[in-house]
A and B are shown apart, each in its own frame.
Chain A
Amino acid sequence: MTTLDCRGMLCPLPVIRLAQAFPDLAVGDTITVLADDPAAATDIPAWCRMRSQELVSAADNQYVVRKLA
């Protein structure tokens, strides 16, 4: 399982890092993003919706995303 440490980064950087890491994942894999920018709480779920990927969990500045396609 991959973890991206985006703490201290401001949006859109955490979302950019997430998108850039995605091609290396296999379908079904999950990736964890650590991000403490308040905007990430809206923007990571929004990215998952726009990209049709699954937001598995979002709590305590930690976001788990599963690659669906």
Chain B
Amino acid sequence: MLLQALDSGWADPARLHHEGRTARLLLDNARAVLAEAVGVRPDELYLTTSGTAAIHTGLAALTAARRRIGTTVVHSAVEHSAVLHAAAAAGTTTEVGVDSSGRVDLDAFATAVQADGVALATLQSANHEVGTRQPIARASEICATAGVPLLVDAAASVGHEDVPAGWSALTASAHKWGGPAGVGLLAVRKGTRLASAWPVDEREDGLSPGYPNLPAALAAAAALQARLREAAELDKQHRAWIAELRQRLAADIEDVEVVGDPDDRLPHILTFSCLYVDGEALVTALDAEGFSVSSGSACTASTLRPSHVLAAMGVLTHGNVRVSLARTSTYDEVDRFATVLPGLVRRIRAEVGM
């Protein structure tokens, strides 16, 4: 797909010659596919150079458009760091706490959104580290009533499950659904005011300057179509496997804290923390067993700070592991993970006398 796109979509879609018109047609097709997948019209979808770029640009443009009202950005404590940094750069921030499952405190969110001087509220569709879904439908109603636009970071959800409607803007990232790196989505509902922070550029209404990466956009659209075709089946499979993992880890490992909402969550993510276990040692031990997992423990971060998500939830941050199932994951792998993990945890604990 990518190679085919390189052959037929190399030209500038803004030009009127034959190759340019072909490129334009391909870009329009990719945009139509991507727009439909996130539930907007093609003219409401901007293609950016990454999911992070979509967040940075979108958050800044939405906030700047309401500068006469204020510069406060309301966000949950468990947003992706791209959102936290963009919010801090755009103005003053109001952080809203979460419960121990990682779900935003809606009453506090409503109070924060209704305050004077709020330019924008932003809430993720689901948490990228622990999988807990956020109450987007109710947050949308709160924002609509207050007349405050809502930006939803849907990077963790798009390709896996639908995001409830009602938001003003939504962002996503192609590599999260198996598409290429370098493609982000910024969907903005008509009627939402934007003031791009970039210098004037004719591309993407000035929200994503520069020559478009058409082959990557086509590949992103094809990957999302393919992903959505199998999403229902994968959802069923992954939910069952994660539920089994949850149950087996809690039963077979002493002092393990499985975190995140057990039901109202993304289908493919499981996060847990093992008491007295060094996260880096556990990630390394699992790697040696052929499992590539992430960790929110401080020792695995360049900053030596624990995951702000786990800290906001008040759950154990050391000995933390995040398992993400891929479309190619098999039950045998899930079963082997649950079988080898207790021994690895025991070994690491024994090394520190626990």
A37-B314 CB under 8 A given contacts A10-B304, A11-B306, A50-B257: no
* Cα(A11)–Cα(B281), bound, Å: 12
Per-residue contact bits, chain B 301-319, to A (CB 8 Å; 1 contact, 0 not): 0001110001100111111
B299: chain A residues at CB < 8 Å are: 10-11
* Cα(A47)–Cα(B319), bound, Å: 12
Interface size of A by Cβ–Cβ distance < 8 Å? 19
Contact A39–B314 (Cβ < 8 Å)? no
Interface residues of B in 278-335 (CB under 8 A from A): 278, 297-299, 304-306, 310-311, 314-319
B278: chain A residues at CB < 8 Å are: 12
Contact A45–B305 (Cβ < 8 Å)? no
> Is A46 an interface position by the 8 A CB rule?
yes
Contact B276–A42 (Cβ < 8 Å)? no
Contact B316–A43 (Cβ < 8 Å)? yes
B305: chain A residues at CB < 8 Å are: 38-39
Contact B352–A46 (Cβ < 8 Å)? no
Interface size of B by Cβ–Cβ distance < 8 Å? 23
Residue of B nearest to A20 (CB): B353
A46: chain B residues at CB < 8 Å are: 257, 314-317
> Is B275 an interface position by the 8 A CB rule?
yes
Interface residues of A in 3-60 (CB under 8 A from B): 10-13, 15-16, 19-20, 37-39, 41-43, 45-47, 49-50
Across the A-B interface, give the 4 residue pairs with the lowest CB-CB distance, nearest first. A12-B318, A46-B316, A11-B318, A39-B298
19 A–B pairs (Cβ distance < 8 Å), ordered by A? A10-B298, A12-B275, A12-B276, A12-B278, A15-B275, A15-B276, A15-B318, A16-B276, A16-B353, A19-B276, A38-B298, A38-B305, A39-B305, A39-B306, A42-B316, A43-B306, A45-B314, A46-B316, A50-B257
Known: A16-B276, A20-B354. 6 other contacts (CB 8 A): A38-B298, A39-B298, A41-B311, A42-B314, A43-B306, A43-B316
Chain A interface residues (CB < 8 Å from chain B): 10-13, 15-16, 19-20, 37-39, 41-43, 45-47, 49-50
Chain B interface residues (CB < 8 Å from chain A): 255, 257, 275-278, 297-299, 304-306, 310-311, 314-319, 352-354
